[in-house]
Amino acid sequence: MQNSSGLKRNVATQPSRTRYRVAGLLLLLAGVTYLDRACISILAPQISADLGLTKVQMSFVFSAFAMAYAAFEVPTAWWGERIGARRILTRIVVWWSCFTMFTAFAWNYVSMLVIRFAFGAGEAGAWPSAALAFSRWTPVRERGRTQGLFFAAAHLSGGLTPLLVATMSPILSWRTIFVVCGLVGLVWSTVWYRWFRDEPRDHPGVNAAEADFIEMERKIASHKAGAEGVWRALVFSPNVWFLCLAYFSNSYGSYFTITWLPTYLAEQRGFQKETLILFSGLPLILSVAGDLSGGAITDFLTRRFGLRFGRCAVSVVGYGLAGTAMFASVFSTAVVSALLIAIAIASSMFALSASWATCMDVGGEHTALLSAAMNTTGQVWLDSESAGSGFSDWQAPLLIMGGLYSVSAMLWVLVDPRKRLNVLTIHQ
């Protein structure tokens, strides 16, 4: 009897695993974001033909999303830190899901511009708000792996989207496909709002042992600072600037992959339908391996050698390899070039988990604002087509990406994840 009762007491003190279910819901969110983003690039030829859009007009449709996303990213993150990840993510996903479905009702160029701008405004803040939820629910030792899984889900979804759309296209119109994709987000937001809680201790599925474990490890203060202190800390921190500028290359590469890579492979490299679908999705498929390995390795190195080496070494290696592969792709044959582009993108994603985990390490209770600032810096790109229409050929964006990746590797030598934001508390 003593052994039995002793075993029961031991089991009762074991932490519950609700944080893993939270991570699972956020992985689904990551998948839905890339499903809705990548869908339009695959359907672009059908949309252009139906609405009579030129290539330049379609490029501005892509850019409308990017402009709105960049403009509303930080304000949405600021709002999310005040109302919590539960409510802000519900608002974000409902908004973008509705405008994904509204895309089906576009009737001309202007209407498509307005709808996609509103879509971008609605999705802005999604990933920083997810990072906010992770920062509240994830101990430091698990952050890299959790972020790796999150981005792996996003990139796997983006990589499979061309196949999914190709499967639906023979039986559904492009308008109906947008409606179907929007419904998926509405289902997710319903489940999220009903089940999730901002604080682990408030969740009925979290026992005291798990709540204590998370709170002891997450290193987040309970106070709230005034906005003035946060903005000053962000603007005047060299550490924040190095982190944000280093992220620029990642967003530029991701944007090119999602929007213009299929066109580049078809027009510049001569790929036909079957191989075009394969190589268009390959960068995101390989990115899954980069996400998972980068997340696991940054956590391992952090435990073994400390926070700075664990985050920075992964990022320097990832971006350095990405720059080398991207430069080499310009001077290679068609198939080798497509493979090298995929390797370069995947290598940049190897650094992704370290980047977002560093936002939690440095930002603390202001993780959402810092990650939004980093992500917004990444959105200020040169559109590969509309802003770069003066390029003599398609190789220029690849050279730019190679240079940006190389600069990111150098900037990460200067980043220090151990330096927290120096925010003065402002009592209101």
pLDDT tens digit string along 102-123? 999 999 999 999 999 999 898 8
Question: How much is the average pLDDT of 189-197?
Answer: 95
List the domain boundaries for the chain.
20-411
pLDDT at 1: 41
Among 374, 421, 420, 422, which Cα is nearest to 128's?
A: 374
pLDDT at 276: 80
pLDDT tens digit string along 217-255? 666 544 344 456 788 888 889 999 999 999 988 888 877
pLDDT at 363: 86
pLDDT at 381: 54
Q: Six-digit token pair at 182?
A: 């929007």
Q: Residue 99: which H helix or E strand, with range?
A: helix 85-102
Helix locations, 105-226, DSSP H:
109-123, 126-137, 143-168, 174-195, 208-218
pLDDT at 226: 47
Cβ atoms of 270 and 337 closer than 8 Å: no
Among 374, 427, 381, which Cα is nearest to 404's?
A: 381
Q: Which amino acid belongs to residue 266?
A: A
Does pLDDT of 3 surpass 60?
no
First to last CA, the chain: 57
- Give the CATH fold of the 20-411 domain: Growth Hormone; Chain: A; (1.20.1250)
pLDDT at 388: 41
Over the range 214-243, which residues count as b (16 or more CB within 10 Å of their CB) and which as e? bbeebebeeeebeeebbeebbeebebbbbb
Among 155, 199, 210, 117, which Cα is nearest to 353's?
A: 155
Number of CB atoms found within 10 A of residue 387's CB: 12
Does pLDDT of 331 surpass 50?
yes
pLDDT tens digit string along 139-173? 877 888 888 899 888 888 877 777 788 788 888 88
pLDDT at 301: 94
| Residues 6 or more apart whose Cβ sits within 8 Å of residue 145 | 295, 296, 299, 353
d(CA 327, CA 344): 9
pLDDT tens digit string along 377-427? 766 554 444 434 434 567 888 898 999 999 999 999 999 998 888 765 443
Considering the entire predicted model, what is its pTM? 0.78
